[in-house]
């Protein structure tokens, strides 16, 4: 699973990378549950990103290190959790469904996916919290975390609370609305944990699963999300609201600087939130954080294309204002036509005067 809104051509990010914005302090991305490798969109940062993966399956971890070798990529065969200890790890028939929580077979009997979630064996693994691991392995800071660990996401985040408070600006997290595993946390638990730390929900991809009583017709041997059915799980994008922290002077953690703000704005663009990115760079510039860059140029790069064509931020805003005015004029003309057919002349005249006043008021506001 993953987020669905990904920008395949992030011009703002490409500009920042080309200008060397992150050369001195590259983005550090941590992927927990990294089976299959790192997500492709992080390649937008070129050599100004460091990718760190964690995969409890030692064989898969070894394969990934051989496949994606490089100084900026590293996978660790470490089992992350809330603290150090020994914990039971349940190996499912479908390896990607393995984790620290045992599937709720009684619930799964109602869905087609039960065969792949049958537990084939259980292992005792040594676990470690992320903050301790980072301290022992020279991971000084983290900008973004992606977690996909079959219901252990909240446990892992509790073991990374130091990093969350210090430097993390965003997370992509697998979430569960239904208790697919015995004793697992659900979405409301995760949200309640993250909000006091300054993280807010910015995007959500929802995944459904049809019942065994009427399964979705598919030739796949590995049942996955379906078009219909109950909402079971999803992928949530949590980000720090830098704009709010700056404007309300309620800055959390280690605070903000120009590089950290540009990283957050870039991540916003990457996940199709250009409006949030423009707002952030504008507020940051007014607050004195971004002084060495032309904010108008940055805003131009964040304006989405229309039919393959790009316009400046100023032109885009002008187009929106004109569109609203044209729409208002069209609606007013339709209303006048209806009044002419069904309203007495005296009432039509009074309403017409009121509409003109309303139009003038709206025009003044738009100007």
Domain assignment present for residue 5? The answer is: no
Give the DSSP letter string of 140-202: ---SEEEE-STT-HHHHHHTTHHHHHHT--EEEEEEESS--BTT---HHHHHHHHGGGTEEEE
Tell me: do 185 and 88 sit in the same domain: yes
Which residue carries 């929580």 as its tokens?
A: 101
Domain assignment present for residue 229? The answer is: yes
Q: For residue 282, what pLDDT is reported?
A: 97
Alpha helices in the chain (DSSP H): 11-18, 58-67, 105-108, 130-136, 153-158, 161-166, 187-194, 242-247, 258-270, 274-286, 295-302, 313-342, 345-366
Residue 346 has pLDDT above 80, yes or no: no
Tell me: do 149 and 113 sit in the same domain: yes
Q: Which two tokens stand for residue 362?
A: 């709206």
Tell me: do 321 and 239 sit in the same domain: no
pLDDT band for position 216 (50/70/90)? confident
Residue 334 has pLDDT above 70, yes or no: no
How does strand 73-76 pair with strand 119-128?
unpaired
Domain count of the fold of the chain:
2
Residue 225 has pLDDT above 90, yes or no: no
State the Cα–Cα distance between residues 138 and 276, nearest whole angstrom.
32
Q: For residue 336, what pLDDT is reported?
A: 60
- Which residue, 302, 322, 356, sits at the end of a domain? 302
| Phi, psi dihedral angles at 210 (to 5 degrees) | -75, 155
State the Cα–Cα distance between residues 48 and 196, nearest whole angstrom.
30
Domain assignment present for residue 260? The answer is: yes
Tell me: do 356 and 249 sit in the same domain: no
- Which residue, 252, 267, 302, sits at the end of a domain? 302
Write the DSSP symbol of residue 215.
P
Sign of CA dihedral 10, 12, 17, 18: positive
Tell me: do 317 and 297 sit in the same domain: no
Q: What count of Cα atoms within 13 Å lies in the side-chain half-sphere of residue 142?
A: 28
Domain assignment present for residue 351? The answer is: yes
Residue 108 has pLDDT above 60, yes or no: yes
Q: What b-and-e string marks burial along 196-219, b requiring 16 or more CB atoms within 10 Å of the CB?
A: eebbebbbebebebbeeeeebeee
Domain assignment present for residue 290? The answer is: yes
Residue 367 has pLDDT above 60, yes or no: no
- Which residue, 277, 302, 327, sits at the end of a domain? 302
Domain assignment present for residue 307? The answer is: no
Domain assignment present for residue 90? The answer is: yes
Tell me: do 113 and 195 sit in the same domain: yes
pLDDT top residue among 205 and 340: 205
Identify the CATH number of the domain in which residue 47 sits. Answer: 3.40.50.150
Tell me: do 187 and 327 sit in the same domain: no
| Phi, psi dihedral angles at 203 (to 5 degrees) | -155, 155
**Average pLDDT, stretch 9-22?**
97
Tell me: do 327 and 252 sit in the same domain: no
**Average pLDDT, stretch 215-224?**
77
Q: Mean pLDDT score of the chain, rounded to an integer?
A: 91
Nearest to 164 by CA among 82, 225, 54, 55: 82
Contact by Cβ (8 Å): 80, 33: no
The pTM of this model reads 0.87
Domain, as residue range, for 324: 313-366
Nearest to 150 by CA among 92, 76, 200: 92
Domain assignment present for residue 284? The answer is: yes
Tell me: do 317 and 233 sit in the same domain: no
Tell me: do 35 and 155 sit in the same domain: yes
CA 34 to each of CA 6, 72, 98, 341: distance values in angstroms, whole numbers, following the listed order = 19, 15, 13, 67
Q: For residue 115, what pLDDT is reported?
A: 74
Q: What tens digit of pLDDT does each residue of 238-272 get? A: 999 999 999 988 776 668 999 999 999 999 999 99
Tell me: do 144 and 259 sit in the same domain: yes
Tell me: do 229 and 262 sit in the same domain: yes
**Average pLDDT, stretch 215-231?**
82
């Amino acid at each position: 699973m993953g987020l669905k809104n990904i920008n395949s051509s992030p011009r703002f990010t490409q500009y920042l990378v080309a200008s060397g914005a992150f050369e001195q302090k590259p983005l550090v991305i941590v992927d927990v549950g990294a089976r299959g490798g790192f997500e492709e969109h992080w390649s937008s940062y070129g050599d100004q990103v460091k990718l760190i993966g964690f995969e409890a399956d030692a064989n898969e971890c070894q394969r990934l290190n051989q496949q994606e070798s490089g100084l900026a990529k590293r996978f660790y065969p470490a089992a992350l959790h809330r603290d150090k200890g020994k914990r039971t790890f349940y190996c499912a028939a479908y390896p990607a469904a393995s984790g620290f929580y045992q599937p709720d077979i009684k619930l799964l009997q109602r869905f087609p996916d039960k065969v792949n979630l049958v537990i084939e064996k259980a292992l005792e693994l040594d676990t470690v919290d992320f903050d301790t691991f980072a301290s022992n392995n020279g991971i000084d800071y983290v900008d973004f975390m992606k977690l996909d660990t079959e219901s252990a996401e909240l446990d892992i985040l509790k073991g990374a609370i130091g990093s969350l408070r210090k430097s993390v600006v965003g997370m992509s997290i697998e979430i569960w609305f239904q208790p697919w595993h015995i004793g697992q946390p659900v979405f409301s638990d995760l949200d309640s944990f993250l909000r006091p730390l300054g993280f807010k929900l910015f995007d959500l991809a929802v995944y459904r699963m049809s019942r065994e009583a009427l399964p979705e017709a598919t030739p796949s041997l590995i049942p996955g999300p379906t078009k219909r059915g109950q909402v079971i799980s999803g992928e949530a994008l949590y980000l720090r609201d830098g704009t709010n922290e700056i404007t309300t002077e309620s800055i959390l953690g280690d605070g903000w600087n120009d590089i950290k703000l540009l990283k957050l704005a870039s991540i916003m663009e990457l996940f199709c939130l250009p409006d949030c990115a423009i707002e952030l760079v504008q507020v940051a510039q007014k607050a004195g954080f971004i002084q060495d860059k032309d904010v108008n140029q940055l805003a131009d790069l964040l304006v989405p294309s229309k039919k393959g064509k790009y316009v400046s931020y100023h032109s885009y805003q002008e187009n929106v204002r004109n569109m609203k005015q044209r729409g208002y004029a069209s609606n007013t003309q339709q209303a006048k036509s209806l009044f002419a057919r069904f309203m007495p002349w005296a009432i039509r005249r009074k309403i017409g005067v009121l509409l003109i006043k309303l139009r003038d008021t709206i025009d003044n506001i738009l100007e």
